[in-house]
Amino acid sequence: MLAGDAEILTRCELPIEVEDDVVVVRRKVKLLAQQRGFDAFATAGVTTATSELTRNVWMHARRGTALIEEILDDGRIGLRVELRDSGPGIPDVPRVLAGGYSTARSLGLGLSGSRRLVDELEIETEVGRGTTVRMVKWTKF
């Protein structure tokens, strides 16, 4: 579990049930990031990563949950976002994460691209059972 020892300061759970929820979830993340003092670039990074992953849930599972937490660990404050679904799962994670430059319409780019926007990202997935993606972005100060 990403930053499992961290203290949870705030917690917010949002459903992913309609396409508009992608925007709702990312707006919440953007708001929290700005409040916590992330600069424009860091905010855009964590918000866009959230948008990518939430859209993945919508596109591939049509239903899921977003869990957004502000966490504190070792004096640093971070934003932890978890996207969870009971969808088809991801068959070949290493290949998907290898991503790279691509303009192809694929699950891979969203995931590999998002990893570069945040500090930590982990994926739990099982074909036929579902996927949970967790990421953390820490404040610089």
Partner 1 sequence: MTRPDPLARLNLDDHELVSRRSFFAIGTDDLERLAALRPFAEQHTDAIIDAFYEMLLAHPETRKFFPDETSVRRVKRVQRDYFLGLFGGVCDRAYAENRARVGATHEHIAMAPKWYLGAYRRYLELLHERLYAHFADPAEANLAYQSAQKLVFFDMSIAIDTYISANIDAIRRHQAAIRELSTPVIRVHDRVLLLPLVGTVDSGRAHQIMETVLTRVTDEQAKVIILDIAGVPVVDTKVAQHLLQTTAAVKLVGARTILTGISAQVARTIVQLGVDISAMDTVSRLQDGIELALAHVGKAITAKGA
Partner 2 sequence: MSVAKGSIPILRVGPNLLVTVHIDLHDVVAEAFQEDVLTELEKRRAPGLVIDISGLDIVDTYVARILSETGRMARLMGTETVVVGMRPDVAATLIRMGYAMEGVNTALNVDDGIETLAGIAAGKKTA
Segment interacting with partner 1 (CB under 8 A) among 33-41, 57-65, 82-90, 120-128: 33-41
Question: For residue 68, what are its two tokens?
Answer: 């957004």
Q: Does 141 contact partner 1 by CB under 8 A?
A: yes
Closest by Cα among 59, 55, 73 to 2: 73
Q: Does 103 contact partner 1 by CB under 8 A?
A: no
Q: Where are the beta strands (DSSP E) in 1-141?
A: 7-16, 64-73, 76-85, 120-126, 130-138
- Would you call 5 helix, strand, or coil by DSSP? coil
What would the x/- binding string for partner 1 be over residues 40 to 59, using CB under 8 A?
-x------------------
**Least distance CB 89 / partner 2 (angstroms):** 21
Nearer to partner 1, 5 or 141 (CB): 141
DSSP 96-125: HHH--S--S-SHHHHHHHHHTTSSEEEEEE
Which residues are near partner 2 by CB under 8 A?
19-20, 22-23, 26, 30, 40-41, 43-45, 47-48, 51-52, 55, 99-103, 105, 109-110, 112-114, 116-117
